[in-house]
Amino acid sequence: MSKLIKNGTIVTALEEFKGDVLIEGEKIVAVGEKLDAKADEVIDAKGMYVLPGGVDQHVHFSFEFNGSKVRGFETTNAAAVGGTTTVIEFVNQEQGKGLIDSIDDYRKESVEGVSMVDYSFHGIITDTTTGVFDEIEKLPEAGYPTVKLFMAYKGMFFHADDDAIAKAMMKARDVGVTIMVHAENAELIDVLQKQCVEEGNTGPYYHAVSRPPIVETEATERAINIAKFADAPLYVVHVSTQKAVDAIKRAQAEGLSIYGETCTHYLLLDKSDLAKENFEGAKYVCSPALREQEDRDYLWKSIEKGWLNSVSSDHCGFDWENQKHMGKDDFRNIPNGAPGMENRFGLMWTYGVEGGKISKQQFVDLVSTTPAKNNGLGDRKGHIGVGYDADIVLYDPSKKVTISNETSLQGVDYNSYEGFEQKGKVEKVLLRGNIIVDDGKFVGEKGDGEFIKGKPYGLCYEGYNKK
């Protein structure tokens, strides 16, 4: 079965041009101007941008907070209609179980036959008693070449100390596994959280008060120092504040292989959202906390300059009514995280490209090409070129959308971007050559998504030379 996408404007991270894309089965077989090719199906993309499907390298479909669980892979049709064709899920190592077994089992039980977009995984080290560091060398073969450790969350089973980070890095660097950290100082947060509660300040806003920028800056700088100590590359997830970006910039200037991402909500929302009345602020409780306008401005600059290399959603689907309300009397019990996979692509186009902050090439790079490369998917995903998977979004820039939870597929009872205006609309989405979104509606099937094995030596290892 072949398809020819004609007359669109093809945009990649490198260039844009009017042209056609020929697809044979699941793959792109030709790209060029006025392709002289016959196909079983011709798709007219006149007036539309032809973009690589989004790669969201930071999502949570299995996260649990105080025993309460997020919506799972059954909601990934939301990613599809939002222009994202690959998601990379963080899976906690189960207590007493190996990292690979934890991911394998989760994959079989909850993802295969369910996901509506393609998927890959990051492991999260939570139990250092299982020989988990020795397991790192087996991760590339299993197709899980990235591992995260949580520096935040004192007292929680998934918190990682410096020694765990160092040990993981020293194993990872020899086999091309990328170590990621959630960089916030757990001890300092604990001091401020207790202080806030003792003073009777228990509302959602104090989530941000108890996690000021310095806790992120300190942990980011420390993680960079541990990477230096271990002579290893490092990827810092969800960077939200100016000084943390500066730490990464300095490390890059020193020639270190240190990279980071930011997320849609740090670019478009801020601390004032946490102050919304009637517990509405709880909708915006995520970690790191939302920052100030100056940080937002600096983060836009950071993605434009390449100091941060990707924009993720950090999608985390907790309901406001039943789940966020667990913290009604104490912000420490509000599940951390907010939904966002459906809107990342359109919002970055609107406020990034249409807002004059980034070019179309940078947009593609930040939401698709580089996230694929970071995670060892760069030979199949994130680009419109011969040999790549035919994951393609047709985006109509002339349409307008008002974001509303009424029309959302995320399966959560609120949307962080309620009422935001979006310029342009995802019209059609192809997943490996198969049309899964048509006229903006999901037309795919449950289980259409496939596991994509990540390869080791992702982008963090380009230019990395072990001493």
Where along the sequence are the contacts to Zn ion (CB under 5 A)? 314
Q: Specify whether the CB–CB gap between 132 and 99 falls below 8 A.
A: yes
Question: At 315, is the secondary structure helix, strand, or coil?
Answer: strand
The nearest distance, CB 335 to Zn ion, in angstroms, is 12
Other CB atoms closer than 10 Å to residue 186's CB: what's the count? 19
The nearest distance, CB 273 to Zn ion, in angstroms, is 18
The nearest distance, CB 60 to Zn ion, in angstroms, is 6
Q: Closer to Zn ion at the Cβ: 9 or 178? A: 178
The nearest distance, CB 263 to Zn ion, in angstroms, is 8
The nearest distance, CB 314 to Zn ion, in angstroms, is 4
**DSSP H helix total and E strand total for the chain:** 14, 20
Q: Closer to Zn ion at the Cβ: 93 or 422? A: 93
Structure tokens given for 392? 């393609």
Contact residues for 254 (Cβ-Cβ < 8 A; gap 6+): none
Burial of 27: CB neighbours in 10 Å, binned 0-12, 13-18, 19+? middle
Q: What does the alpha-carbon distance between residue 368 and residue 434 come to, in Å, rounded to a whole number?
A: 19
Q: Per DSSP, what are the bridge partners of residue 181?
A: 149, 236
**What are the backbone dihedrals phi and psi of residue 436, each rounded to the nearest 5 degrees, phi first?**
-110, -15
Q: Closer to Zn ion at the Cβ: 348 or 430? A: 348
Q: Closer to Zn ion at the Cβ: 233 or 288? A: 288
Angle, CA 366 vertex, CA 420 and CA 160 arms, to 5°: 95
Contact residues for 446 (Cβ-Cβ < 8 A; gap 6+): 74, 113, 114, 116
Q: Per DSSP, what are the bridge partners of residue 315?
A: 59, 338
Q: What does the alpha-carbon distance between residue 210 and residue 188 come to, in Å, rounded to a whole number?
A: 8
Q: What does the alpha-carbon distance between residue 32 and residue 155 come to, in Å, rounded to a whole number?
A: 56
The nearest distance, CB 67 to Zn ion, in angstroms, is 18
Other CB atoms closer than 10 Å to residue 361's CB: what's the count? 16
Q: What does the alpha-carbon distance between residue 265 and residue 126 come to, in Å, rounded to a whole number?
A: 27
The nearest distance, CB 58 to Zn ion, in angstroms, is 5
Which phi-psi region, left, alpha or beta, contains residue 341 (left: φ > 0; alpha: ψ -120 to 50)? alpha
Q: Closer to Zn ion at the Cβ: 52 or 317? A: 317
Q: Closer to Zn ion at the Cβ: 3 or 315? A: 315
Structure tokens given for 428? 């059609």
Q: Closer to Zn ion at the Cβ: 270 or 314? A: 314
The nearest distance, CB 64 to Zn ion, in angstroms, is 13
Q: What does the alpha-carbon distance between residue 261 and residue 407 come to, in Å, rounded to a whole number?
A: 28
Q: Closer to Zn ion at the Cβ: 260 or 444? A: 260
Q: What does the alpha-carbon distance between residue 325 and residue 344 come to, in Å, rounded to a whole number?
A: 25
The nearest distance, CB 339 to Zn ion, in angstroms, is 12
Q: Closer to Zn ion at the Cβ: 286 or 430? A: 286
Angle of helix 162-175 relative to helix 213-230, nearest 10 degrees, comes to 50
Q: Per DSSP, what are the bridge partners of residue 27?
A: 24, 389
Q: Closer to Zn ion at the Cβ: 169 or 180? A: 180
**What are the backbone dihedrals phi and psi of residue 122, each rounded to the nearest 5 degrees, phi first?**
-110, 140
Q: Closer to Zn ion at the Cβ: 50 or 103? A: 103
The nearest distance, CB 238 to Zn ion, in angstroms, is 6
| Integer CA distances (angstroms), 150 to 28, 56, 120, 234, 467, in order | 38, 20, 20, 13, 27
The nearest distance, CB 316 to Zn ion, in angstroms, is 6
Residue nearest to Zn ion (CB): 314
